[in-house]
Amino acid sequence: MAFSYQRLFTMLKERSLKKYFFRQNGINPKVMDSLSKNKNVNVSSIMDLCKVLDCQPSDIMEYIPDEN
Protein backbone atom coordinates (compact mmCIF):
# COMPACT_ATOMS: atom_id res chain seq x y z
CA MET A 1 0.00 0.00 0.00
CA ALA A 2 1.34 3.42 -0.92
CA PHE A 3 0.24 6.97 -1.43
CA SER A 4 1.35 9.20 -4.26
CA TYR A 5 1.43 12.95 -3.78
CA GLN A 6 1.98 13.68 -7.47
CA ARG A 7 -1.40 15.40 -7.58
CA LEU A 8 -0.12 17.94 -5.06
CA PHE A 9 2.91 18.80 -7.14
CA THR A 10 0.82 18.98 -10.30
CA MET A 11 -1.47 21.42 -8.48
CA LEU A 12 1.52 23.49 -7.36
CA LYS A 13 2.74 23.72 -10.94
CA GLU A 14 -0.71 24.66 -12.26
CA ARG A 15 -1.06 27.37 -9.62
CA SER A 16 2.57 28.51 -10.04
CA LEU A 17 3.23 27.90 -6.34
CA LYS A 18 6.66 27.07 -4.97
CA LYS A 19 7.48 25.03 -1.88
CA TYR A 20 8.38 28.32 -0.19
CA PHE A 21 4.68 29.24 -0.29
CA PHE A 22 4.02 26.51 2.27
CA ARG A 23 6.76 27.72 4.59
CA GLN A 24 5.15 31.15 4.46
CA ASN A 25 1.85 29.52 5.46
CA GLY A 26 3.14 27.48 8.40
CA ILE A 27 3.82 24.13 6.70
CA ASN A 28 7.07 22.56 7.90
CA PRO A 29 9.65 22.13 5.11
CA LYS A 30 10.25 18.57 6.34
CA VAL A 31 6.63 17.76 5.49
CA MET A 32 7.14 19.01 1.94
CA ASP A 33 10.34 16.98 1.69
CA SER A 34 8.51 13.84 2.83
CA LEU A 35 5.73 14.47 0.33
CA SER A 36 8.19 14.92 -2.51
CA LYS A 37 9.59 11.47 -1.65
CA ASN A 38 6.11 9.91 -1.29
CA LYS A 39 6.80 9.18 2.37
CA ASN A 40 4.07 8.98 4.97
CA VAL A 41 2.94 12.15 6.71
CA ASN A 42 0.43 12.55 9.49
CA VAL A 43 -3.19 13.43 8.91
CA SER A 44 -2.85 16.84 10.52
CA SER A 45 -0.28 17.76 7.86
CA ILE A 46 -2.72 16.72 5.13
CA MET A 47 -5.44 18.81 6.81
CA ASP A 48 -3.11 21.83 6.97
CA LEU A 49 -2.25 21.45 3.28
CA CYS A 50 -5.92 21.21 2.34
CA LYS A 51 -6.69 24.32 4.37
CA VAL A 52 -3.87 26.32 2.75
CA LEU A 53 -4.77 25.12 -0.76
CA ASP A 54 -8.55 25.16 -0.22
CA CYS A 55 -8.90 21.61 -1.54
CA GLN A 56 -9.83 18.06 -0.55
CA PRO A 57 -7.32 15.29 0.31
CA SER A 58 -8.14 13.48 -2.93
CA ASP A 59 -6.98 16.60 -4.81
CA ILE A 60 -3.44 16.20 -3.47
CA MET A 61 -2.95 12.48 -2.89
CA GLU A 62 -3.84 9.14 -4.39
CA TYR A 63 -3.91 5.65 -2.90
CA ILE A 64 -1.99 3.11 -4.94
CA PRO A 65 -2.78 -0.49 -3.99
CA ASP A 66 -0.14 -3.19 -3.89
CA GLU A 67 0.15 -5.20 -7.07
CA ASN A 68 -0.33 -8.48 -5.20
**Average confidence score pLDDT of the chain:** 92
Provide the pLDDT confidence category of residue 63 given band limits of 50, 70 and 90: very high
Residue 64 host element (H or E): strand 62-64
Check whether 68 has a pLDDT greater than 80.
no
Model confidence band, residue 1 (pLDDT cutoffs 50, 70, 90): low
CA 35/CA 19 separation, integer angstroms: 11
Distance (Å, whole) CA 54 – CA 49: 8
What's the whole-number mean pLDDT along residues 45-59?
A: 96
What H or E segment, with its residue span, contains residue 32? helix 29-36
Residue 61 has pLDDT above 80, yes or no: yes
For domain 2-64, the question of CATH label 2.60.60 is answered with no
